[in-house]
Chain A
């Protein structure tokens, strides 16, 4: 077992398996701190723009086309999303939320993907995609209800084309694929009309790639050539299990087996995630079918507020990833290029403070639902059992009124 201070590269306990000559273990496969040469990257850890190379070349034009204003907007999103997450975490610790799944460390993966989506594109999240929700225009307050326990979802996904969070890992990958099949049937693919052509994006983590539904979704999407982009945030840990317990080869290499391309991108580099997501979404919208994107990143915090990562992972690993911080990196880029000044950064911080205060207030003021509504919306058409139970419930509670209770 790894202990604090151990080396943290290539931690597969059995090493490379050699009993099949034709099994090639790709370089870096089990390295949870280095994405290897296949990883698309534009910024180094300090935010310096990396030279164009064989891996990032197909995406370079997209990054080149970004304006300083785009860069500042990306940075702002990263900071605000991190603040939403920090506030969610604090609210849980203070007893206002029952649970919070933190996205700390994954901001660039989600903001890059989210910003590459168009208004008509539809996102199907797991339960950690607060950054995608932000980019799709979902008020962060909407995300709190289910974690506070006042509802089990609670928003109309069609308002922002951002589906409800999905707790059962992997289910949503099929919903995204089916939705994309509907998009095809609507003829909203490959028309060349920017406001009409639609793609779907399905989000999961590395743990989700082990699920049957994930694999079935990739089969269906491949067979149908559906306009869906699978966005796997390989954050290295599925609660306490490192990802070599989830797969033998990494997700981006598995895509080929389903019949479409897989790309590994630096999930802590927002320029890279944006560019890779944009290419994949454009391909989907134009009728070229699915792409799988593996955003190589790291979950800096716990899986949720319920677990304790010090029990299962070493501090040295976390330290390595802290150096790859997505916000620090983007700030370095903006500063080096002279795209933003101190006033801008101070302004974003002030905005984050205001946002945090707004979320806190909204959370604390969130009313408990009216009790009889527990029986509402179970069915569209009236269901006599539910209707009878609701009537009985209302009458039972009414019996206490004025009786000193």
Chain B
């Protein structure tokens, strides 16, 4: 089946979408939530590969570019966390209408955190959550993003004086920063800083968590082990699966992980009514 690309009308313009119809009878539907900034670009090929494989297995997939990202309307400087959640609501509504299925959310990195956060407050719970290498702490993630600016400054011969703390201070004082070519506003930085991925998962929503590791001998990363145990204790039906492969969202060259694609398709095939 050929994917359909279109612009979905939304607040302040339109969102670029790619819809992958299910081959044969549709068994479920997923909305893909992309990661942040350059990670979205590096992982575009993997998202397309997995979306096509899911569609071939009977799971319809909608990819949506969030406001200010990819081919969607707006500047990155216009982006806000709550507006991104509205984009997810619009994407889910479209998917529900088109497929007649209750859609789930499939998120990569910060996209997984957005999916978790959206699910907590949504009027209608997503059918399930597929998390690829989820970011669980917004403040830590912001720190890592700001380090890109420090690294660039140092390569430029700058001292990088004050480090991340100085950059956070500038943001808190209302300054907009350019980080790795992206215009980071104080508003979006504050949004990210306040995110707590460890909060309870929306009740009744099953979670399939894929953690990418360098090789098959690796143990579950401690943070993932702690968090998944915590959520299970709170009653979430959660599967945590380690998949050896490249960190395709931040490799210099475009990387693919056939193992992660296969594991994701298999996870959706396992339970009967799938996504």
A, B bound: no
